[in-house]
């Protein structure tokens, strides 16, 4: 997901405050957990995105979530502010931008690995080691499956895409055949 300017702005401010309070890791985990809840619960999204629910109702949900999950007070306050400003819909973008800022500032790089089927953990460990050696940074792997690839792997590191999928190879072969036919 490509974040919005609003998401990046809030994530940057949240990161700076979290860094000052030495709570980057805790807030990052809380944001990640909240993002997973957001993705899993249509009801939660409906409350936060629906203008029919007032700020007081949204604040009540945040209060309950924060208490149940043990959310860091800084994140709870940020969520309350987002509710007040009717910006809770940007929560997934904020969470993703926060994670990217945290990775970048800690010397880590994210590598998205898309495969047609699930691969062994040993494969991912080898790939992570190779990417660490190539980039000189600790690598955070994000795994995804996409059966439309047919086979192979598509790796994205630092905005560069390495497409080793069978789907891409077939596309290239088709283009070569069409070029040679004209």
- Second-level CATH architecture of 108-181: 3-Layer(aba) Sandwich (3.40)
C-alpha span between 84 and 173 (Å, rounded): 54
For residue range 42-63, list pLDDT tens digits in order.
998 988 888 899 999 999 999 9
Find, among 21, 167, 6, the residue nearest to 82 by Cα.
6
- Second-level CATH architecture of 5-103: Orthogonal Bundle (1.10)
The residue to which tokens 């036919």 are assigned: 181
C-alpha span between 38 and 48 (Å, rounded): 10
Domain boundaries, the chain: 5-103, 108-181
Question: What's the pTM?
Answer: 0.71
Distances (CA, A) of 104 to 32, 36, 101, 137, 162: 17, 22, 5, 10, 21
Output the pLDDT for position 36.
87
Core vs surface per residue 71-108: b (16+ CB within 10 A) or e: bbebbbebbbebbeeebbebbbbbbbbbbbbbbeeeeb
In this prediction, residue 1 has a pLDDT band, given cuts at 50, 70 and 90, of: very low
Contact yes or no for 83/59 (Cβ under 8 A): yes
Domains 5-103 and 108-181 share a fold: no
Residue 73, pLDDT > 80, answer yes
């Amino acid at each position: 997901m490509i974040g919005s300017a609003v998401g990046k702005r809030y994530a940057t401010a949240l990161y700076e405050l979290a860094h000052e309070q030495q709570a980057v890791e805790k807030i990052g985990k809380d944001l990640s957990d909240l993002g997973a809840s957001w993705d899993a619960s249509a009801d939660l999204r409906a409350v936060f995105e629906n203008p029919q629910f007032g700020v007081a109702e949204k604040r009540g949900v945040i209060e309950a979530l924060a208490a149940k999950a043990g959310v860091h007070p800084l994140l709870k306050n940020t969520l309350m502010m987002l509710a007040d400003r009717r910006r809770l819909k940007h929560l997934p973008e904020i969470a993703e931008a926060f994670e990217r800022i945290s990775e970048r500032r800690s010397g880590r790089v994210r590598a998205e690995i898309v495969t047609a089927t699930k691969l062994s953990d040993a494969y991912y460990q080898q790939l992570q080691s190779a990417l660490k050696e190539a980039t000189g940074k600790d690598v955070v792997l994000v795994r995804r499956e996409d059966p439309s690839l047919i086979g192979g792997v598509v790796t994205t590191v630092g905005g560069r895409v390495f497409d080793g999928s069978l789907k891409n190879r077939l596309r290239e072969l088709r283009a070569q055949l069409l070029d040679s036919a004209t």
